[in-house]
Structure 1
Amino acid sequence: MGDQENVVVSSFAGNIIEQFWKLEQNPDGYFIIKSAKNENLVIDIQRNDPSNENNIKVYQRKYSNNSNQKFKFSK
């Protein structure tokens, strides 16, 4: 898994570290979704555009100007 790759949803293929993700909660209540294999790689919404058909990518983590890498979950 590398930087700027599209996220692919597939069947679980066993104990493959590339298929595992960690949630890190920020003080603002948002979460960063980090790769279990490399915590510097995170889920990123390309161009911060939440519209349908936009790419969701694996990208290098940014520590500022990173609203496209922060997620809020609700029931």
Structure 2
Amino acid sequence: MTQRFAISVALDDYGHLTGSVPALEGCAATGRDMEEMLERLEEEVKLQLTDRGEIDGDIELVGYDIRVV
């Protein structure tokens, strides 16, 4: 079963991206580009779910909310 999580993405003045998963408190990651940020965010989601004992198969990050800060 694939677990799906909506994410929010912020772009700062320096072009760095910060992604977060609102459904998982404190779950965030940064990257120089979208690919790097998504890889790091997926790792963070897996770590949090594993720590909680809630990991169940694959995860998918969906529904980007992109904003400039």
TM-score, with structure 1 as normaliser: 0.32
Q: Which has the higher contact order (CA 8 A, sep 6+)?
A: 2
Larger radius of gyration: 1
**Larger strand percent:** 2
